[in-house]
């Protein structure tokens, strides 16, 4: 047994502990040799009109753009599809003019339409933990305040 539950947080404990298993919410894939690779978090998944989109998938495309230094993708409210993708991009050279339309077109040429960011916000830096992991929660909070 990994743990009995979260201290004084019964509801959260019931959500992650089932039949002796700890459900972490990590999405993993297994290769042909039986090795597992964590690829994303279930709670970060975006439901775009019934299609499941994992932010990491969109971010990998954004990283291919020659002017993108860092990127993060989140779900934002969309009146038509329920959710849509919003991308946050840090440019390698902040003085270079790169447009939202250019980033969207770049993605359109590489992924299915429902995975293409509907909105791109250029930022100086992404919020991160002390170990450098992007805090998508902070990006979602900032986006919901703007709505």
Show the tokens assigned to 95: 């003085």
Does 51 fall in a domain?
yes
Does 3 fall in a domain?
no
Judgement on whether residues 83 and 98 belong to the same structural domain of the protein? yes
Judgement on whether residues 52 and 96 belong to the same structural domain of the protein? yes
H or E stretch covering 139: helix 136-146
CA 33, CA 46: separation in Å to the nearest integer? 30
Checking if the pLDDT of 111 tops 90, the result is yes
CA 41, CA 59: separation in Å to the nearest integer? 14
Domain harbouring 129, CATH code: 3.30.300.30
Q: Strand, helix or coil at 48?
A: strand
Give the closest residue to 117 by CA, choosing from 95, 143, 85: 85
Q: Strand, helix or coil at 17?
A: strand
Does 32 fall in a domain?
yes
Q: What are phi and psi of 70, to 5 degrees?
A: -140, 155
The mean predicted confidence, pLDDT, of the chain is 93
Judgement on whether residues 16 and 77 belong to the same structural domain of the protein? no
Give the closest residue to 55 by CA, choosing from 24, 31, 27: 27
Binned at pLDDT 50, 70 and 90, residue 147 comes out as low
- pLDDT tens column, 59-105: 999 999 999 999 999 999 999 999 999 999 999 999 999 999 999 99
Show the tokens assigned to 83: 């959710």
CA 139, CA 17: separation in Å to the nearest integer? 28
Q: How many domains does the chain contain in total?
A: 2
Judgement on whether residues 51 and 29 belong to the same structural domain of the protein? no
Contact 80, 113 (CB under 8 A): no
Judgement on whether residues 21 and 50 belong to the same structural domain of the protein? no
Show the tokens assigned to 90: 């840090």
Q: What is the pTM of this model?
A: 0.82
Does 30 fall in a domain?
yes
CA 60, CA 71: separation in Å to the nearest integer? 8
Q: Which domain holds residue 102?
A: 45-146
């Amino acid at each position: 047994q990994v743990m009995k539950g979260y201290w004084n947080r019964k509801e959260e404990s019931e959500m992650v502990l089932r039949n002796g298993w700890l459900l972490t919410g990590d999405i993993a894939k297994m290769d042909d040799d039986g090795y597992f690779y964590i690829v994303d978090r279930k709670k970060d998944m975006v439901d775009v009109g019934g299609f499941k989109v994992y932010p990491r998938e969109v971010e990998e495309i954004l990283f291919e753009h020659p002017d993108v230094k860092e990127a993060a993708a989140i779900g934002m409210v969309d009146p038509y599809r329920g959710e849509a993708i919003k991308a946050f991009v840090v440019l390698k050279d902040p003085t270079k003019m790169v447009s939202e339309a250019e980033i969207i077109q770049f993605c359109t040429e590489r992924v299915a339409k429902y995975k293409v960011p509907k909105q791109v916000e250029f930022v100086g830096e992404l919020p991160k933990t002390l170990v450098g992991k992007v805090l998508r929660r902070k990006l979602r909070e900032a986006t919901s305040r703007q709505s």
